[in-house]
Structure 1
Amino acid sequence: MTVQQRVNSSQNDIFSLSGEVVIPQAPPEYKSGFVGIIGRPNVGKSTLMNQLVGQKIAITSPVAQTTRNRLRGILTTPEAQLIFVDTPGIHKPHHQLGEVLVQNAKIAIESVDVVLFVVDASTACGTGDRYIADLLNKSPIPVILGLNKIDGQPSDFQSIDDSYIELAKLHQWQIKKFSAKTNVGLPELQQLLIQQLELGPLYYPPDLITDQPERFIMGELIREQILLLTREEVPHSVAISIDKVEETPFVTRVLATIHVERDSQKGILIGKGGAMLKAIGSEARQQIQKLIAGKVYLELFVKVQPKWRQSRIRLAEFGYRVEE
């Protein structure tokens, strides 16, 4: 997709939501562009994007492959507008859902202006990192190698750094160390990314931080609590559908369904006497209240959808499809 097509696409999306939003003209010498955040699962891509845009729009958890959709976070400064594209971790897929996620991450590489390749700097460069490096090397898009999690580096970290320095030299990439968790190095990373951008327009209104609708983020916040609170066998088998959002002057009512693949997973999510579902709902409700800045009533249901991750029809119903 060309830059002009992306401008038109972005503006059409915004106008379709309200019909009244006007994007101001960018000042002279203004820069803008799309930054793809690429990397293996669980290297801190979503945490990084949340920190850069200044608000939580992408869910995070210790569980790998947390991100499923290509999520855009928007950072507007006096000198540039950066649209960060958070992608699913690139890994070896084991089901249809995994194949869709990895394919979307690969497509993102070709549809951005700059790639930020994020690695876990608490461990040395591995085969997964080198696999992604080979993918990126086939693209003409500029790449910055970002060494995240420096707050977790051991005292003898030089050999770890050297493994990534060697990788960056091999591909002639710039390299930057930082910690998305503590914010160390992020201002310098932001300036480095801006330097890579070309002069361009504002794609989105300056006060917008994501192009995703509230319903999508509500579903992700519910899924995040499931990732944090349930056993290992459950998280990757879960999809969320927001069935109804009803706003009143005093409270927003949200009805959502948690879809799982097996009866045993349904039992785990509900818990003894409904305790687990209540805990998930309570934590998710607090996060949704922060999102909409208002009181929320959240009602959750659990439904079994056998082998939904293997079904293209079910994947499409839940919003997982190969992006163009």
Structure 2
Amino acid sequence: MTSLDAHRSGFACFVGRPNAGKSTLTNALVGSKVAITSSKPQTTRHAIRGIVHRPDAQLIIVDTPGLHRPRTLLGQRLNDLVYETWSEVDVVGFCVPADQKIGPGDRYIAEQLAKVAKRTPVIGVVTKTDLVGKQQVAEQLLALQQVMEFADLVPCSAVDSYQMDVLADLLVGRLPEGPQLYPDGELTDEPETTLIAELIREAALEGVRDELPHSLAVGIEEMVPREGRDDLIDVHAVIYVERQSQKAIVIGRGGERLRAVGSQARKHIQALLGSKIYLDLHVKVAKDWQRDPKQLRRLGF
């Protein structure tokens, strides 16, 4: 192998304000659902690793929570996770949606990124180009260029696969030469229980009132094969909320809302595990868990 066609491997991460399209980009590049997505901001709470396999490279994408000004201990811990990830990856993609003006939140992130840009290349990524016309994409690229000095700039859309191959090439081009870090076919190194908890939380987030997303957490109590059957797995999970009134919202009238959450989550979990599952869901109140260090630890933060 010459150095031009040497195999590359390493880590990249997407950063940006909440709901900038980072998780959708991760899933599109990996070719499978490894990070949950939602129309609600701050959906991602863990640094999920998705693995892209190519003949010339292995790209591991770390999907991070959106960087924001924290109002709770949970918010501070999510931000700490983002900073920690930045310091460990080989290349960073700074995501800004094409349909939203660049604002103070983006400039705040750029200020923080400027500190790592000296040693880690930062690529500017204009996401969601399917939502606007070419003129607006061009204007957004120019506006993003003013925010900081980038190693490269690229507009793309995960929804219609526009320039996703260009984005992948730009990220891979910044990786060091090296062997595969994960076996062929592996799409994530996350424990199954983490992914299952996230799929349940994704289903619970859809269609609830705006004040609820940050108050929802999911814990997997138990996951075991059904005795005497090799085609069925029993999953027992708890959705935690912070107040009694929120519990009523998640359960819905006559349990209707919770049944819909269970039905939607079950489909995705069965696809993930490749097996039929029985999903047992309960809702519990964990008062002010976002501000309580002991409860945050118990919920994995």
Residue 15 of structure 1 corresponds to which residue in structure 2? none
Q: Is 1:207 the counterpart of 2:185 in the alignment?
A: yes
Question: Of residues 169, 176, 182 in structure 1, which corresponds to 2:160?
Answer: 182
Q: Distance in 2 between matches of 1:156 and 1:118?
A: 19
Residue 275 of structure 2 corresponds to which residue in structure 1? 294
1:17-73 deviation per Cα after TM superposition (whole angstroms, max 9, x unaligned): xxxxxxxxxxx8210010011111001100000000000011101000100001100
1:263-309 deviation per Cα after TM superposition (whole angstroms, max 9, x unaligned): 00111111111111111111111111111122111010111110100
In 2, are the aligned partners of 1:122 and 1:154 still within 8 Å (CA)?
A: no
Residue 70 of structure 2 corresponds to which residue in structure 1? 93
Tell me the CA shift for residue 108 of structure 1: 0.9
Residue 264 of structure 2 corresponds to which residue in structure 1? 283
Q: Is 1:229 the counterpart of 2:210 in the alignment?
A: no
Q: Distance in 1 between matches of 2:277 and 2:84?
A: 37
Tell me which amino acid in the other structure corresponds to 1:273.
G
Range with bigger deviation, 194-203 or 77-86:
194-203
Residue 313 of structure 1 corresponds to which residue in structure 2? 294
Residue 10 of structure 2 corresponds to which residue in structure 1? 33
Q: Is 1:113 the counterpart of 2:94 in the alignment?
A: no
Aligned CA distance change for structure 1 residues 260 and 101 (closer, same or farther; 3 Å) = same
Tell me which amino acid in the other structure corresponds to 1:193.
L
Give the secondary-structure state (helix, strand or coil) at the position aligned to 1:64: coil
Question: Of residues 105, 123, 126 in structure 2, which corresponds to 1:147?
Answer: 126
Structure 2 portions without partners, runs of 5+? none
Q: Is 1:77 the counterpart of 2:57 in the alignment?
A: no
Residue 171 of structure 2 corresponds to which residue in structure 1? 193
Q: Distance in 1 between matches of 2:69 and 2:61?
A: 24
Residue 16 of structure 1 corresponds to which residue in structure 2? none
Aligned pairs for 1:122-137 (under 5 A) are 122-137=99-114
**Runs of 4+ displaced beyond 6 Å:** none
Q: Distance in 1 between matches of 2:150 and 2:187?
A: 32
Tell me which amino acid in the other structure corresponds to 1:307.
D
In 2, are the aligned partners of 1:229 and 1:280 still within 8 Å (CA)?
A: no
**TM-score (norm: length of structure 2):** 0.94
Aligned residues: 291
Tell me the CA shift for residue 162 of structure 1: 1.8
In 1, are the aligned partners of 2:141 and 2:153 still within 8 Å (CA)?
A: no
In 2, are the aligned partners of 1:124 and 1:164 still within 8 Å (CA)?
A: no
Tell me which amino acid in the other structure corresponds to 1:253.
D
Tell me the CA shift for residue 233 of structure 1: 2.1
Q: Distance in 2 between matches of 1:121 and 1:165?
A: 13
Give the secondary-structure state (helix, strand or coil) at the position aligned to 2:146: helix
Q: Equivalent pairs: percent with the same residue?
A: 43
Tell me the CA shift for residue 77 of structure 1: 0.8
Structure 1 portions without partners, runs of 5+? 1-27
Aligned pairs for 1:219-258 (under 5 A) are 219-247=197-225, 248-258=229-239
Give the secondary-structure state (helix, strand or coil) at the position aligned to 1:56: coil
Give the secondary-structure state (helix, strand or coil) at the position aligned to 2:9: strand
